Amino acid sequence: ARLANQIAAGEVVERPASVVKELVENSIDAGANNIVVEIEQGGHKRIAIRDNGKGIVKEELKLALSRHATSKIYDLEDLDSIMSMGFRGEALASISSVSRCSLTSKPENQEAAWQAFAEGRDMDVELKPAAHPNGTTVEVLDLFYNTPARRRFLRAAKTEFQHIEQVVKRIALSHPNISFELKHNHKKILKYTATNAEKRVEQICKPAFVSEMATIKYEYEDVVISGWVSKAGVGFDNNDKQYLFINKRMMKDRLLMHGIRQAYEGMLPDAKHPAFVLFLDLPPDALDVNVHPAKHEVRFRQGRKVHDAVFQGISEVLLSSLH
């Protein structure tokens, strides 16, 4: 079992930041509105995610650490309409196969907390009583300790932490109603209190971001676009403030990047590095988010339409900002 999980881990767990992404998405799935991420040595040494979500009952703690046991896909229809963030049921098993991983949880209506810990070649899961408030903590120690080839690919702690910081910022941008805290080597690095979309984008990008940018709100058939984009004269200094979310998930999509670039080339040909925070909402069956295991790629049923929606939406906003 461990070997199969380690192979799967190769797809899901590229680096500490991918662990953070999977675990924070699990916390969001669990309905948490407070998520604390603690990192030591860029995540090489320790990654711990604590949430106040619905928790995992004692009987299911073992299952949560075993591959596919919890997959929420039962048939093709589920696959088509899946909206929840994680659904492949293998992140925890994969992570625990390449680290020393424990899962501690207390659902609200369970009297005590329990901790599960997978050990040894067969990943036998040990259960023991623990102290924990309502919610869940996943602790990942010594990532890739047993897969030297992967460990060699890890960068300096500072670099790995920068990736983690990006992941937390991106997830926080699309979930303003959740408060997030990120610590590195016991030092508080980020803290976002729960708020609305406008204030969250200013917490993350910069103060006055919203008033400097053009607001976009555009509907094109079943595609709804909202967010903020650089308009004439402002906001062209930061390449790093380019955020694209599809159904609340951070995505890298060449087709949409092309639509965005085309809109700027048409309206503001001198603009080189526009900043944007764009949220696209589509019916779940209009896309397949399961193309890449790490899930930052997407395939649209009607790519052309989504491309044109972005192109037209941004073109209109830029045009009106010129007057």
Contact residues for ligand ADP (CB under 6 A)?
A: 22, 26-27, 29-30, 51, 53-56, 64, 70, 72, 86-93, 136
CA distance 127 to 208: 49
Q: Of these partners, Mg ion, ligand ADP, none, which one is at the site of residue 51 (CB under 5 to 8 Å by kind)?
A: ligand ADP
Q: Of these partners, Mg ion, ligand ADP, none, which one is at the site of residue 30 (CB under 5 to 8 Å by kind)?
A: ligand ADP
**Judged by CB, which is closer to Mg ion: 29, or 288?**
29
Coil/strand/helix, residue 128? strand
Q: Report the nearest approach of ligand ADP to the CB of residue 44 (Å).
A: 21
Given the rule CB under 5 A, which of 50-58, 84-92, 173-181, 195-203 is the region that contacts Mg ion? Answer: 84-92
The sheet carrying 214-220 orders its strands as 214-220, 223-229, 276-281, 242-246, 249-250
**How many CA atoms does the CB half-sphere of 94 hold within 13 Å?**
22
Q: Of these partners, ligand ADP, Mg ion, none, which one is at the site of residue 27 (CB under 5 to 8 Å by kind)?
A: ligand ADP
Q: Of these partners, ligand ADP, Mg ion, none, which one is at the site of residue 82 (CB under 5 to 8 Å by kind)?
A: none
**Judged by CB, which is closer to ligand ADP: 27, or 230?**
27
Given the rule CB under 5 A, which of 23-31, 32-40, 71-79, 290-298 is the region that contacts Mg ion? Answer: 23-31
86 is a site residue for Mg ion (CB under 5 A):
yes
Helix/strand/coil percentages in the chain, nearest 5: 35, 25, 35
Return all residues near 74 (Cβ < 8 A) that are at least 6 apart. Answer: none
26 is a site residue for Mg ion (CB under 5 A):
yes
**Judged by CB, which is closer to ligand ADP: 125, or 257?**
125
**Judged by CB, which is closer to ligand ADP: 12, or 256?**
12
Q: Of these partners, ligand ADP, Mg ion, none, which one is at the site of residue 206 (CB under 5 to 8 Å by kind)?
A: none
Q: Report the nearest approach of ligand ADP to the CB of residue 110 (Å).
A: 12
**Judged by CB, which is closer to ligand ADP: 36, or 223?**
36
Backbone angles phi, psi at 14, to 5 degrees: -85, -40
Nearest one of 209, 211, 276, 204 to 239, comparing CA atoms: 276
Report the DSSP pairing between strands 124-130 and 135-141: unpaired
**DSSP H or E run through 164:** helix 157-173
**Judged by CB, which is closer to ligand ADP: 52, or 230?**
52
Long-range contacts of 151-156 (CB under 8 A, 24+ apart): 153/15, 154/15, 154/16, 154/42, 154/44, 155/15, 155/42, 156/42
91 is a site residue for Mg ion (CB under 5 A):
yes
- The residues that touch Mg ion, with contacts defined as CB under 5 A, are 26, 86, 91
